[in-house]
Amino acid sequence: MARKQSKKRYIWSRFFYESTNGFSCRFFIDATGTLEEVEEKTAEALFEVGRAILKTYMEHLDEAFMKDREKGLRHLGMRERDVLTRFGVVRVKRRYYRDGEGNTRFLLDEALGWDKGGMAMTPSVEAQALKMCSEISYRKSAEHLSFFLVEDIGHSLLHRRVQIRGSERAEEKGRLAEELFSWGVLPPSERRETQRLFMEADGCMISLQREGRRKHEVKVGISYEGWQRVGEEKWRTKNRRACLSAADGGAFLSQWSADLATVYDHAKVKEVIWSSDGASWLAKGPGLFSCTHAQLDRFHLKRSLTRALGFSSEASRLFSLACRGKASEVVKELEKHLEKATDERKRKRIAEALSYISSLSAWLSDWRKVLPAGEDDRSPGAIESNVDKLAADRFKKRGMSWRPQGADHMCQIIELKENGELPSFISKRVKTADARKAQAAMAYLRKEVRRDPEAWLKKNMPLLQSRSGDPWVKEVLAGLAGYDKLAC
């Protein structure tokens, strides 16, 4: 049974396991050389092995698609395409066809989810590349990938990939929101149940390039089910989920609602606690999500009071009153300070705080004063750190400027990464290949090695300057061909 399972492994995994088990590097490096030279030659040789295996596998898979193609597809010829893999760029020859409607089709491209035009990528490389782009600049991401993949990768390739995948994700979210709010169609859902769901939202202003206006707001929302203690006076939100967009406020809220519907059964969520700064685009939030309680974000409440009264004991006292829901007392005290103030700038700041607190007086009470709360329950306040980590760090802290559409596409990539859905989002484009075709492709690879090991070695791996009779070659080819021992 173990032997049968071993044969089902991917051929490249078996190859590297067999080929690196106890062999020296003498077959492709000189006896002398610095560590850096040895490392570089080792990488070149191993990467060439990987490229050869993947090239053979994909081209034979394309041949299998040709034999089983649907009627009406006329074979026109062969064309090459570069594919970026973990072993660098593999140039693959695949067949193209014309269907009854006159469209040109590449069956291998369709099966593996490759976009039209440009360099293709394997799902694992694309997921890692997009993850890097969501954390550092395109140029830095290209620089790091070029080093690890031993290829010269341009930042424009990564930029284009972010735009493609970000656009696809934005369209998907927009479609789900339209179906939900226009037609009442619920999206496929995990139908998770929870006693209490916390929701927080805020925005981050970013700089624009080549636009009529100079600033644009990126919206950030997070939801979670409570807190768990991770240390003394340290807490972590449970099942946190992020939503980001550079669209307008109404579109953001509807897309956020549709996204949560893919996770939760709203009928089974008993209580929803809303927290935000009370911005105009967030005013509809509590009603849209049928919130049990809406609470003004404590960071913005305290900032409003300290701007008006400074970091004084009076500001702390009024903040404490506000958190207890005593809006009328806070308003009266601010009115007194406004009457006493003589400096015009100070009067303006006090007036702003007075207007802010008066308009959101219903949001002042802490939810724990209104609803039953447990020992580990806390007041919402995670949104500021999440805005800093998810949006500000990538969009504005390095002097960058954006186009609104490009910023929205990057938001989608950051959201997918943060929710742990980036690899699955990319992989779902790949059609599950027929197991029979995949097995046939690997069987073909073994057959080629069995027929003439030395010829296969010279053809596919010219960097490996070694005779096919060397012990290491015997064991490598034995594993590749499926034999325990290969007599050469």
Q: Are residues 6 and 107 in the same domain?
A: yes
Closest CA to 130 of 428, 426, 429: 426
Closest CA to 80 of 68, 65, 90: 90
299: domain range?
A: 294-370
Dihedrals phi, psi of 271, to nearest 5 degrees: -135, 140
> Is 364 within the bounds of a domain?
yes
**CB-neighbour burial class of residue 391 (10 A; exposed 0-12, middle 13-18, buried 19+):** buried
Rounded to the nearest 10 degrees, how much is the dihedral formed by the CA atoms of 157, 162, 165, 168? -120
Q: What value does the mean pLDDT take over residues 205-225?
A: 91
Q: Are residues 109 and 26 in the same domain?
A: yes
Residue 215: the pLDDT is 92
> Is 60 within the bounds of a domain?
yes
Average pLDDT, the chain: 85
Residue 430: the pLDDT is 78
Q: Are residues 364 and 442 in the same domain?
A: no
Q: In whole angstroms, how far apart are CA 341 and each of 53, 308, 331?
A: 78, 10, 15
Whether pLDDT at 184 is above 90 = no
Closest CA to 285 of 357, 202, 161: 202
Report how many domains make up the chain.
Answer: 2
What whole-number distance in Å separates Cα of residue 407 and Cα of residue 217? 10
Q: Are residues 466 and 366 in the same domain?
A: no
Nearby residues of 223 by Cβ (< 8 Å), 6 or more positions away: 197, 198, 199, 200, 240, 241, 243, 260
Tokens 């009928």 — which residue?
A: 267
> Is 90 within the bounds of a domain?
yes
- The predicted model scores a pTM of 0.83
> Is 201 within the bounds of a domain?
no
Query: Side-chain half-sphere of 1: how many Cα atoms within 13 Å?
Result: 0
Highest-scoring range by mean pLDDT, 235-249, 392-406, 424-438 = 235-249
> Is 278 within the bounds of a domain?
no
> Is 477 within the bounds of a domain?
yes
> Is 123 within the bounds of a domain?
no
State which amino acid sits at residue 437.
K
Domain boundary among 335, 353, 370: 370
What whole-number distance in Å separates Cα of residue 460 and Cα of residue 50? 10
> Is 453 within the bounds of a domain?
yes
Q: Are residues 91 and 6 in the same domain?
A: yes
**More confident call, 469 vs 362:** 362
What whole-number distance in Å separates Cα of residue 309 and Cα of residue 318? 10
Domain boundary among 354, 370, 386: 370
Whether pLDDT at 485 is above 50 = no
pLDDT digits (tens, 9 = 90+) for 294-322: 999 999 999 999 999 999 999 999 999 99
Domain boundary among 320, 354, 370: 370
The helix or strand, by DSSP H or E, that contains position 88, with its residue range, turns out to be: strand 88-98
